[in-house]
Every structure is written in C-alpha cells, then in structure tokens.
Chains A and B, each alone.
Chain A
Amino acid sequence: MANIDILIHKCIGCKQCLKACPFGAIKMEKKKAVILDNCTLCGSCVSACRFQAINFVKDEVIAKDLSAFKGIWIFAQQKNGKVSEVVFELLGEAIKLAEKLKTDVSAVILGESLKDATKKLIAYGADKVYKIENKELKDFNDEIYADILRQLINEYKPEIVLFGATTFGRSLAPRIASKLNTGLTADCTILEIDEEKKLLLQTRPAFGGNLMATIICPNHRPQMATVRPKVMKAIEPNFNRTGHIISPKVNLRTALKVKVLDIVDIMKSEIAIEEADIIVAAGRGIGNIKNIRLIEEFAREIGGAVAASRAVIDAGWLEYPHQVGQTGKTVAPKIYFALGISGAIQHLAGMSSSDVIVAVNNDPEAPIFKIARYGIVGDLTEVLPELIRTFREKMKKTVV
C-alpha cells in the first residue's frame, strides 16, 4: 500500500512541507515534520522538501498497453440542433493538443436533427464527426447519452475525451468515466501535453481558486476532462474545410429511468451567464431591488448577461441561476463588471479567470480591486447611471 513518511534524520525542521501541504496535514513536533492522518497522499510536500526527507512510496503500477487508444474527442453538446459555444472552444484547443500528439480531432454529437451542426463542427476544426441522430436523443438525458458514449468510446478508443464544464457536461462525464473506470478531471482551465510521455496535463483550480493543481491520468484510457467554458479559444471557422462524417450503429437503451418532462428557460437576459462574453454582476452595494433594473439596463446597453453575488440572490433580488461564486456558477467572460461586489473569496472562486475584471465599489480596500484590471472607487448608485449614459453614447459612436 502507498505510504508516506518523514525521514527524521534528514528533516531539518524548515517547515517548507508545512507550507506546501494544501490539506494542513503536516505539523511540527520537536522541530521535525510529522504527517497527520488527514494526509491524502497528494505528494505536494515531496517536491517542496529540499532535503529529500520525505519518503513517498507509491504502489507499483503495471504499465498497460494503451497504444490502441488514439485521437482526441470532443463531446458536442447541443440544444435544438444548436451547438454550445464551449464546443468550438474545445475544438480550438484540441487542434493544438492533437498537433503535439500527431493525431486527429473528432466531435461526437447526439441529437435529433444535426445537419447544420455537423458542418459547423468541421468548420471549427473537427476532422471527423461521429453523429447519432434519433428523436429519442432530442433533449439531453444523462442516462441514454452516457450509455451511447460508452459504446462509442469502447468501439473507437479515443485517447482523450473532453467535455464542456457545463451543468450537463459535469453530470455526463463522471457517469461515463465511472462506467469505463477511467480518470476524470473537473473544470480544467489549462490543458497541455507532456510531450515525452504523451500525457494530457490537466490543470484546474482547487480550494476556491487559491491553488492550481496539475493532474494526469497515466494508466487508464481515455484521459477525460471537463473544461471551463470561455477559457479556451475557438479558431476562425472555415466552411470550406472537409471532414468525415460517421454514423455509427448503437443500441438505444429503452425503458429509461430518467425522463425530462419539461425544459424551462428563465435567464433574465438572453444569454446564459456561462456563455456570455460580457457579464454585469451586481453585489450588495447595489442597495436595493429597484437598482437591479439599472444593472439590467447597463447589461442590455453593452450586450452583456446579468449575474449577481450570493448576497443579492439571498435577498431575492435575482434568481439563483444568476449567482456567480462557489455556491453558484463559475464563469470566465472576456469582461466581468463587478458592481458593488466586495470580492469575498467565495465570489472570486466563480469569476477570477475572467479576462478583464472591472470593479466599482465605494471601499477602496475591497478585495475585488486586487484582481480587477480597472477600478472605480465610488458609490455605485451614482456611478451606475453615469456608466449607462457613457456607454450608450460611446457605443453609438463606435457603431457609426
């Protein structure tokens, strides 16, 4: 069994391991490090120790022949035939990864009527599209989707399978990984290839974004990950590109145990916040429910989606699907307006990977200013009407 020990004679009590441990599982006793029983064997301390005083014995793993697994697959989530934006981002990223692995990129799409979607997937970089069309597949359903993807993965053996870290992706991917007994990394923000070992390096935030962890899946295939929307970049589509379209035969499971009875869209703004390029987020500093209208007006003006911090949702000023943060959604738009949001760590966890953060807050010491690119210190109720006015004018000019 795997084990970790401090080699007492080598430990000089420098506490570097203590600082490196993300789980607080090391304490000092008589000036020597001691590993506590809440250690998760993550190995962070081993690389931090400059005196080779930590003996980490991993179990022998018999290397399996994984060479039969080839190619990168992207799960192409769609709704009513329209492919989610995150799929194009994943295709863009997959092209780069495939180049390093000298392999090809495939999209897998399930749905009812997928002709246009298929063309688009090829235009955005898919070399192959595996397409299953059936009216039973019209709406996303974990049970039937997972069953079909398992069949396809077993048949075609991709080495990497990527999903958007959407509500559906994060429900479907673990179900499939569990079926296949393979590894899955959640909500990645960086993907790279270890060119020597040909492994996918999957980096993701943990502890509410305070720590980044790079994760590998060395002995199981496929290597699976869900990837945070808006982080990867799609390529310019080329509709002259050609690709293979494959319609595999699969068994459609019947007598389903999960049925979607109804689908209700309630996002106030047209755009789902995970998909938005611009997000206008309201915090406690908005003062009262009436000012939500101003937030909505500003969002409309600049083509953004409306979001909020937990305080605003708890007050009942906006509905839960708008909540950004650790107990809400994780977003990464190009511009994030944090309006009257102080920037508690739980909120930052949901938006800190945004490209540009704009903060408006009356407290110049608010933590949000630490991660913001641009800041305005002032009373939001006074600044916001001015913002609306300014952007309304400037945008008009820009369009002309």
Chain B
Amino acid sequence: MNIIVCVKQVPGSNDVKMDKVTNTIIREGIEAIINPFDVYAVEEALKIKDNFGGKITAISMGIPKVVDTLKEVLDLGVNSGVLLSDRAFAGADSLATAYTLSKGINKIGKYDLIICGKQATDGDTAQVGPSLAEKLGIPHTTNVSNIEEVGADFIICNRSTDEGYEVIKIFLPAVITVVKDINVPRLPSIRTLKSAKNAEIFIWNLRDINADKNYTGLKGSPTQVVKTFIPQYDTGTEIFEGTNEEKCNKLALRLLDMKTLFSI
C-alpha cells in the first residue's frame, strides 16, 4: 500500500508566552517543530507499512527550512520526502494549501491512502484534509481514532464524533485525518536512521508541480486576515476565603444567582 502523509512545520507552542508589558506574543527563540498531530499520522502510516508493506512519502509545503521536519520523519522510516516550496505559495489559506498539496500529490503519482493530522496547532483550522480530498476527487473522513481493517480497496476505521464514534468503511484512495488517540508514536531506531541516510527529499516549486499561481499563496486564498488582536481576559478573579464549607457556600451563592442555568 502506498501512503502519503501530510506534515506541517509549526512553532513549538509550549513556549507561547505573553509579554505582559506590550501584551504581545513572545516568539523569540521559539523552535519550529513538526505539528504534534502529524506525528500520529506518520506513526499510523508506519504501522500500515509494517503490516502490509508499501512505500510512504511525506509531503509538506513551506519554507526551505521545513526540510528539517521532513528529515525527522525520514528518520522514523518514511521512504521519501517532498517539500513544496516557492514564494508563490506564501500566504496560503487552507484552500490554497489544499490546492498546492493536491498538485504535489498528483506529481508523486500512485497512492492508496493519504493521512493527515487532525489539525495543525498554529492555525487550528482542521480544514486542509477535507479540502485536499475534494481537490483530489477522493473521499475523506476526519478524526480517525482507530483503523480496524485494511482491505484491498478499502479501510474500516473508527471516527471520533462529539458523542462517541462512528465505524466508517471508506474506499481507497482516500484521505483520513487522525486524532492522537490512534497510536503511540515510535522513536527512530538504528535501522531506520540508517536507511534514512539514503532517503531522498525532493524540493518542488510552482512549475515543478504544474500549479496555476492564481490558485496558490495569497493570491489563491479567498480569505484574508484584516486584523489581529490579543484577547483580553480581565475577569477579576474572586477567590473565596474561609473553611472549605464556607468557600463552597460562597461559590454556590454566586452561581445559583445564575438561576436559569439550574432550572432542573
């Protein structure tokens, strides 16, 4: 089975701190990491490869530095990497990203399954997976928490929903996005580190993937950011004092004031 995994490089979000004086995000010295959800996508691809054989290609769109992220996944046993990198890709929203990825994936050629992380931790849109599937004209499902069966031309998987999960049969080729519940990612092994040395990373630009620049980057993005601002949390926290009983009583008094809520 040939699998393509979509990965994104994001700022290491653990370090997001606020500058209390200027009320802005301190971003200095923040390292770029692989989007945490994509690690599970890579692991799931590796698991399928372990059991059924085949080839895994990781694809990303971004600046040249994103090669580092691709190297990281090659070290885990991914066979090859593709980086789509061009100034004409800058400023892409989820639609333009999906279009660009679809052109890159078409150039990669034959594939059975495309796996994405549920969402990226910088934008949190969760839109690229479904949008990409549409651009490729293949089915998709999101929030996959378990792959139960891998058939010749289908998979059966569990999809986390707001109330529990659905069991979905999806015919291949298809796009799935995965949640972190799906597996426990591995670390590189000596064997995979060794084979990664010979693994290739291809860097393709607009022309290489035959993309139309009217549909990539800022120009190909229907959505535009017009304003960004820091949300204010000025709640004036009220901390209750006294014994536990007194604290709880005071809290209950405040909350039960919100009468409509407790109209049981």
Chain A positions within 8 Å of B, measured between CB atoms, are 1-2, 19-24, 37-44, 47, 58-59, 142-143, 146, 166-168, 170-175, 177-179, 181-187, 201, 205-220, 257-267, 272-275, 277-278, 302-303, 320-321, 326-327, 329, 334-335, 345-346, 349, 352, 356-359, 364, 369-378, 382-383, 386-387, 389-391, 394-395, 398-399
Q: How many A-B residue pairs have CB under 8 A?
A: 328
Establish whether residues B165 and A266, one from each chain, have CB atoms under 8 Å apart when the complex forms. Answer: yes
Given known contacts A167-B161, A371-B233, A398-B256, A219 and B222 CB-to-CB distance under 8 angstroms: yes
Determine which residue in A38, A168, A209 has the highest number of CB atoms from chain B within 10 A of its CB, and name it. A38
Give min CB distance, A151 to chain B, whole Å. Answer: 15
Q: Kindly state the separation between the CA atoms of A213 and B225 in the bound complex, as whole angstroms.
A: 7
Q: Is the CB of B16 within 8 A of A208?
A: yes
Cα of A371 to Cα of B168 in the assembled complex, Å: 39
A183's partner among B24, B142, B223 (CB-CB below 8 A) is B223
Establish whether residues A357 and B235, one from each chain, have CB atoms under 8 Å apart when the complex forms: yes
Q: Are A370 and B163 in contact (CB under 8 A)?
A: no
Instruction: Enumerate chain A residues within 8 angstroms of B251, measured Cβ to Cβ.
Output: 358, 374, 376, 387, 390
B18: which A residues are within 8 A, CB to CB? 210
A214-B225, A261-B168, A374-B238 known; A186 vs B125 contact (CB < 8 Å) = yes
Give the distance to chain B from A307, nearest Cβ to Cβ, in Å. 12
CA distance A263 to B167 in the complex (A): 6
The contact of A211 among B131, B229, B253, B261, by CB within 8 Å, is B229
Give Cα distance in the complex from A364 to B166, angstroms.
42
Contacts A38-B65, A212-B228, A376-B248 hold; do A168 and B161 have CB atoms under 8 A apart?
A: yes
**Chain A residue contacts of B156, Cβ below 8 A:** 261
Q: Which of B87, B131, B162, B225 contacts A177 (CB 8 A)?
A: B131
CA distance A183 to B229 in the complex (A): 21
Do A19 and B164 touch (CB < 8 A)? no
Is the pair A375, B261 in contact by a Cβ cutoff of 8 Å? no
User: Are A208 and B121 within 8 A (Cβ)?
Assistant: yes
Residues of B within 8 A of A376 (CB): 239-240, 244, 247-248, 251
Chain B residues, Cβ within 8 Å of A334: 258, 261
Q: Is the CB of A206 within 8 A of B25?
A: no
Which residues from 101 to 126 on chain B have a C-beta closer than 8 Å to any C-beta of chain A?
Answer: 121-126
Complex interface: chain A residues within 8 A of B264 (CB):
303, 395, 399
Docked Cα-Cα span, A341 to B94, in Å, equals 33
Bound: A278/B264 CA distance, A: 12
Q: Which of A1, A208, A395 contacts B13 (CB 8 A)?
A: A208
Known interface pairs A186-B126, A334-B258, A390-B248; A320-B145 also in contact (CB < 8 Å)? yes
Evaluate contact between A40 and B90: CB separation under 8 angstroms: yes
Return chain A residues, CB-CB under 8 Å to B138: 257
The listed residue with most A CB atoms (<10 A of its CB), out of B141, B143, B160, B163, is: B163
Known interface pairs A214-B227, A335-B258. Does A59 touch B134 (Cβ–Cβ under 8 Å)?
no
Of B52-60, B197-205, B211-219, which stretch is located at the interface? Answer: B211-219
> How many of chain B's residues have a CB under 8 angstroms from any CB in A?
105
Smallest Cβ-Cβ distance to B243: which chain A residue: A386
Given A369-B239, A376-B247, A376-B248, also A19-B22 (CB < 8 A): yes
Residue of A nearest to B232 (CB): A212
- Is the beta-carbon distance between A143 and B139 smaller than 8 angstroms? yes
Q: Nearest chain A CB to B229's CB is how many angstroms away?
A: 5
In the bound assembly, the distance between CA atoms of A177 and B138 in angstroms comes to 15
A2-B91, A175-B131, A214-B226 in contact; A166/B162 too (CB < 8 A)? yes
Check A358/B141 contact, CB under 8 A, given A278-B261, A320-B181, A369-B239. Answer: no
B228: min CB distance to chain A, Å? 5
Q: Is the CB of A167 within 8 A of B223?
A: no
Contacts of B133 in A (CB 8 A): 175, 178
Bound: A257/B136 CA distance, A: 14
Contact B164 A47 (CB under 8 A): no
Interface flag for B170 (CB, 8 Å): yes
The distance from the CB of B120 to the nearest CB of chain A, in whole angstroms, is 10
CB of B130 closer than 8 Å to a CB of A: yes
The residue in chain B whose Cβ has the minimal distance to the Cβ of A304 is: B261
**A87 CA / B163 CA spacing, docked (Å):** 17
Q: Which of A41, A329, A399 has the most CB of B within 10 A?
A: A41
Q: Knowing A206-B122, A358-B251, A369-B237 touch, does A394 contact B256 (C-beta < 8 A)?
A: yes
8 cross-chain CB contacts under 8 A: A2-B219, A41-B218, A43-B225, A168-B162, A212-B229, A274-B162, A357-B235, A387-B251
Shortest CB-to-CB span from B12 to chain A, Å, is: 11
Q: Which 7 A-B pairs have the closest CB atoms?
A: A183-B222, A41-B91, A24-B27, A178-B134, A183-B223, A186-B125, A266-B164
Residues of A contacting B92 in the complex (Cβ-Cβ under 8 angstroms): 40
- Give complex CA distance A273, B162 in Å: 8
Q: Are B122 and A262 in contact (CB under 8 A)?
A: no
Q: Is the CB of B180 within 8 A of A386?
A: no
| Chain B residue with the shortest CB-CB distance to A393 | B252
| Residue numbers in B under 8 Å from A263 (CB-CB) | 161, 164, 166-167
Residue pair B233, A183 in contact (C-beta under 8 Å)? no
B221 within 8 A of A: yes
